[in-house]
Amino acid sequence: MRISSKTLQKKKRRRSGFQGKKHCRFCANDANASSLDYKNSYLLRSFITERGKILASRISGNCAGHQRQLASEIKNSRIMALLPYTAQ
Amino acid sequence: MLRYESLFITVPEITSDEAGSLEKTLSKAVTESKGSIISFERWGKYQLAYPIRRNDYGVYYLMRFEVGDDRKDEVLAELKKLYGVKYGELIMRSVVKSLPAKHSLEYKRPESLEEAPSKDIDTIMKESKNILRRDRGGDMFQDDNLD
């Protein structure tokens, strides 16, 4: 099977555009991990979308343990009306 | 001794007398069961993320307390009663959480409306002008597309 040079170039471009592995923000910094709390809505706001949905760890780069903790803190924060359930 | 914290939202129209009696009753409920209050803080007035009981604003309070292992159920049941029945009309929402023993008591909270710097009229006018300009730009862009 022949592959045209154009498609090869495209593939190369895609590879070069690939970012390195994302790292968990909470594992990297102890101060960040200790500030992960349902009261700290300012920090939690950076992990939800405009619609109010929780960002996937594949996008935010969090490790599985911290992602679980983050999700429960966001849900607690929503109960106390510090974060929205959905966009109004 | 076990540490707990309780965050609750009251109606925005709460008076200082009501807040005072609320603090007294809650601290009494804890101290009667041989517990002690670590702190009782008024966060201030906040805009809620969604309306609760048709209120867009609420006043947040954070109470932290210690209680013995044997009396914890008693205190938590008493607090639940106070939040739900006695102060049911004042307190819109509440939560009680246990704090880890070696956890530091420092925490971060969002800025309340009272703490936020008030905007002067010039900045409000500038912002509204910018929004208008952006809207007009958007309209022109749409017109170009139609052509």
Going along chain A from its start, the domains and CATH numbers come out as 23-88 (4.10.640.10)
The pTM assigned to this predicted structure is: 0.77
Give the tokens for residue B16: 């200082």
The nearest alpha carbon in chain A to B9 belongs to A80
What CATH number is given for B2-99 in this structure? 3.30.70.60
Domain ranges of chain B: 2-99, 117-147
The neighbour count for residue B65, using CB atoms within 10 Å, is: 26
Contacts of A88 in chain B (CB under 8 A): 50
Q: CB A81 to CB B109 under 8 A? A: no
Which of the four pLDDT bands, split at 50, 70 and 90, describes residue A54?
very high
Instruction: Give me the interface pTM, i.e. the ipTM.
Output: 0.76
CA distance B80 to B94: 9
Contacts of A76 in chain B (CB under 8 A): 95, 97
CA A31 to chain centre: 18
Q: pLDDT at position A14, please? A: 63
CA distance B83 to B60: 14
Q: pLDDT at position A76, please? A: 94
User: Chain B within 8 Å of A69 (Cβ-Cβ)?
Assistant: no
Q: CB A39 to CB B49 under 8 A? A: no
- A59 CB-near residues (< 8 Å, 6+ apart): none
CA distance A56 to A71: 10
Residue that wins the pLDDT comparison between A28 and B137: A28
| Ranges of chain B whose pLDDT falls below 70 | 119, 134-147
Q: CB B107 to CB A37 under 8 A? A: yes
Percent of the residues in chain A that have a pLDDT greater than 70, as a whole number = 77
B36 with B68: CB under 8 angstroms? no
Instruction: Please name the amino acid found at residue A73.
Output: E
CA distance A30 to B37: 28
Which of the four pLDDT bands, split at 50, 70 and 90, describes residue A75?
very high
Q: pLDDT at position B102, please? A: 80
Give Dmax (Cα) for chain B.
78
